[in-house]
Each structure stands twice: as C-alpha cells, then as structure tokens.
Amino acid sequence: MIDFVKIKINNPNIKKIKSNLSLDFRLDVSEKNGDCTPKAVATYHFCKITVYDNGNVLFTGSIHKLFNSLKGIKAPNYHPNNYKGYNGNIFTLENISEVRGHLYQLLFCEPQQMEFQNIEFGINTNPYFNPQTFILGLLYQMGKPFEFKYERKYAQVEHNRYILKIYNKSNQYHMENHTLRIEIKCRKAIDFACTGIKTFADVNTSTLNKALELLLKRFDEVVYYDKTISKKGLNKVQKKNLNNYSNITYWLETLKPNKRDEHKKKLKNFIKNNSSNLHQQLRDNLIKKGVIINRPPKEQKRIIINSSTIELNLTLNKLITNTKNLFSFKT
C-alpha cells in the first residue's frame, strides 16, 4: 500500500547513523574548486539516506523495493546491469512493519521519530483483462488530461498537491499475470493528513484503510472511455456521442465546463449498460486487495488463504459504503 516515501528523522543520532557500517556515506566534491556539497549521501537497497550539515537527516526511496531487495526478491526481467529494484508483487502491512523495524535499527530511531514528508499510496491490481485496454481509454481527472509515457504504457495526471499514476506494471517487469498499478503521490503532509498518518508509528490497518479510501476517491474522479463499449443496437446520435466521448479534445476544448456533467452521466450510462465496465472491475479489485494487504500482521495468512471470511466482508462492505457515491466522474 505504501511505496515511495520521504521521511525526516526527528532528533537524529547523527554520530551513530554515520558510523553504521551498513551505510557508505559519500560527499560530492566540485572538480573545479574542491568545494563539498553540504550533505553526505548513502545509497541503500535502492533508497538514500542523506545527512545534511545543518543536522537534518532524510530517508528517501521505495520501501517496497527496499523490502524486496532485503529479501532477495527480484523482478522477472532482472538483469544486473542498470537494475532499479522491483515493486510489482504484493506488499502487505506485515511487510511494511518489517521495514519499519529494519529502519529502526538502521537509523537508530523510534518509529515516532520518522516523520513522513511525502508518501505514495498504491496497489498492484490483477485484472482479467489486458491493462492497456483501460490505460488507452483514460481521458482526464479533475479537469486535467492524462499524460502518457513509455509507449502509452504509463499515464499520469499531475496536480499541485498530488500526482495520480496508472500504469502497466506487468509490462514494466515482464510479469506473467496482468498487473495494473493505481497510485497517488502525496507531495506534502497536508495531502495525506486525512489518513491519520504523520509518522511511521501511525501506520496500521485503520490508517491504511483510510489511505485506500483516498486512493479510491482519486480513482473515481477519473473520466475514461471504456474500450469494451459495444455500439451494436445504438442509433446514429448515440454512436456520434460515443465518438465524441472518446476524444479528449471534445471534453476539454469543445465542451464548456458547465456542460460536462450532463455528458459524463451519459457516458457513465453507456459504460454501465454497453460495456464490461473496466473501471468497476478495477475498483472492486482495489478494495479486495487493499483490505487483504492492510490486515494486521497476525491475520495476514488467514485472510489471504480465506478471503471470504466474515470479518473481511464486513471491512469490504464498510469501504464500499464509504466510497459508493464517489464514482461520479467529477470535473
């Protein structure tokens, strides 16, 4: 559920951190004048620990990649040259708790000293369909069009306070199972304050379920054209509307903002009645996987083996109730 993080260590024991034999701190020195940057940086399992001359200490990187690296878990397309880590598998609260304990020993600090500056919440969904079918239909979110990269295998919408990312994780790592990652990067603490997470000590089932709700909220704001829509039996006007609805220019340039809601409702009905409704399939998968991976460590094995338990269903129903009104194609 948590991936990339930027953590400030409050009241750090810099002497102990810099003397840790597991960390190789290096200084950047200017070849021109010999000046050193005011910081020392150690690279550690695809992450970085930075100690500044002013006494600040930052940990940055993907804790999912950190966990896999520590465990020797590699990507299916692993190659030693230019390898950048792997975060395509499941990453549970139990795994996060292990990372928290590891950082406690590595950086000589308590979890409550590890204050999140920014954080990414994301889930690797496993749809029955090719992830590209959904990605290629993405239009916009909250008034901003999706930007596509890597041969349209990756899409994102960048806002001042957060970035929504949707991309083909199975293509990235050559994974056998279809894997589509849905992720939000919160750039400042205020952007994820609603989850109740401030420090690493706050990461638990309750706060991660709130993070899941935030992820669902952003996902439900996505406007997309479902590539599985069937035009069979539709009249000329309906077909014309669908042609317009598949065009981002129509939504953001032709239509006036106050006219979008009317057409978003029409598109939503087309998706509901004439397609496989890929968004709803992904949404259901997000909830089910989210609830499973956010369970307390002692319950992980039981929940993963038997995902139809009463307790799991109760949590699922609560999340569905909390977010059922969010799928409204907001502007």
* One domain for residues 55 and 67: yes
**246-278 pLDDT per residue, tens:** 999 999 999 999 999 999 999 999 999 999 999
* One domain for residues 83 and 156: yes
pLDDT at residue 32, rounded to an integer: 65
The domain of 149 spans: 2-225+276-323
Banded pLDDT at 316 (limits 50, 70, 90): low
**135-165 pLDDT per residue, tens:** 999 999 999 999 999 999 999 999 999 999 9
pLDDT at residue 319, rounded to an integer: 59
> Residue 287: pLDDT above 80?
yes
* One domain for residues 14 and 119: yes
Tokens of 205: 């089932």
* One domain for residues 198 and 294: yes
Q: Give the chain's domain count.
A: 2
**66-122 pLDDT per residue, tens:** 999 999 999 999 999 989 999 999 999 999 999 999 999 999 999 999 999 999 999
Average pLDDT on 183-200 reads: 96
pLDDT at residue 315, rounded to an integer: 53
> Residue 328: pLDDT above 50?
no
> Residue 291: pLDDT above 80?
yes
**230 occurs within a structural domain:** no
**193-214 pLDDT per residue, tens:** 999 999 999 999 999 999 999 9
* One domain for residues 263 and 152: no
* One domain for residues 7 and 151: yes
pLDDT at residue 309, rounded to an integer: 43
pLDDT at residue 7, rounded to an integer: 98
**3-61 pLDDT per residue, tens:** 999 999 999 999 999 999 999 999 877 666 667 778 999 999 999 999 999 999 999 99
Banded pLDDT at 311 (limits 50, 70, 90): very low
> Residue 321: pLDDT above 80?
no
* One domain for residues 129 and 261: no
